[in-house]
Chains A and B, each alone.
Chain A
């Protein structure tokens, strides 16, 4: 997942797009090393010490990792995936929403 996410961030660097993670690792210090090593520059909420049983994933009823939601620029849920739908499909969905958001900005 990381390499493709890195490429998404790069591709949409100057566009209205961001990745927000919800991380379910239990060890925050170790996690910081991973961020460096994997060049994870996007921000993540931390799900707390309970890991996969933490408050955010429990509230959102997440039982599989990754679980992905794509939100448009107006804050509306547009896509939902349990497990990655594949790079191509993800790109398609995000590209379309980014284009739409850019169009709005120009008006």
Chain B
């Protein structure tokens, strides 16, 4: 209950509330004079406060005797992440130009989940203010797999406005993958999506080939996607493979022309 009231008030006041919760006897309020912390500090405080509040509620739940009381506490526990997502969002909305705004917004996605109304508002804020710092861009590949309603515009924004080549490259690659998998699911616009995706994969090959994602350069990966789409298609002649066999002897796939060939990409693991 305390939390819910606090959410409507300015950060300073709910920070005091949190301190009051620390020590139930200290009902008089904080002993230190109120001092506005930086956004980064406020985020840290919120994180700590949430952990503490959760712990307190869990302890309360263990001690609760009446079912009614237990139910009430459980409800509060379940709503806790959402409550804090709102707080992070408020913080970012109040200070969108602060260097820590991105950090607060990432917390919104983390606490409320990517499909929540808060996450949608966070995404809007990122796009509007072009908040593509490391925290936000680091979170994008994960969001790209989510297929949230705002995924595409976030990735598009980052592909264009992120500060480093690395972040723009990763966003371009993630956007290309996102559009391609959307196209592969079918639909009226599949053809256009495929064309868009291929163009972006080409951009990756041309401009961001050496950028790494999950430890691997994205250029060769993008090239692979384009190669598969253009050549590894049923009804088309199979591309040549020329490499060593397991004993180290070079050979070619075309050495076996005239035979039906089952190509098996395999591994012994």
In the complex, A43 Cα to B256 Cα: how many Å? 11
Partner of A22, one of B216, B233, B258, B263: B263
- Cβ contact within 8 Å between A22 and B264: yes
In the complex, B268 has a CB within 8 A of chain A: yes
- Cβ contact within 8 Å between A60 and B227: yes
Q: How many residues of A contact B (CB 8 A)?
A: 57
Interface positions of B from 217 to 269, Cβ below 8 Å from A? 220-221, 223-225, 227-228, 232-238, 241, 243-247, 251, 253-254, 256-269
Per DSSP, chain A at the interface is mixed
- Cβ contact within 8 Å between B227 and A72: no
Looking at chain B, what size class is its interface with the partner chain?
35 or more
- Cβ contact within 8 Å between B261 and A70: yes
- Cβ contact within 8 Å between B268 and A69: no
In the complex, A35 Cα to B238 Cα: how many Å? 26
A101 and B260 in contact, given A44-B245, A56-B241, A71-B238 (Cβ under 8 angstroms): yes
- Cβ contact within 8 Å between A67 and B265: yes
Smallest beta-carbon distance B261→chain A, Å: 4
- Cβ contact within 8 Å between B261 and A20: yes
- Cβ contact within 8 Å between B224 and A75: no
In the complex, A21 Cα to B264 Cα: how many Å? 5
Can you pick out 19 interface pairs between chain A and chain B where the beta carbons lie within 8 Å of each other?
Answer: A8-B262, A17-B259, A18-B260, A20-B261, A20-B263, A22-B264, A22-B265, A23-B266, A23-B267, A24-B267, A25-B269, A30-B268, A31-B268, A46-B243, A73-B258, A73-B259, A75-B254, A75-B257, A97-B260
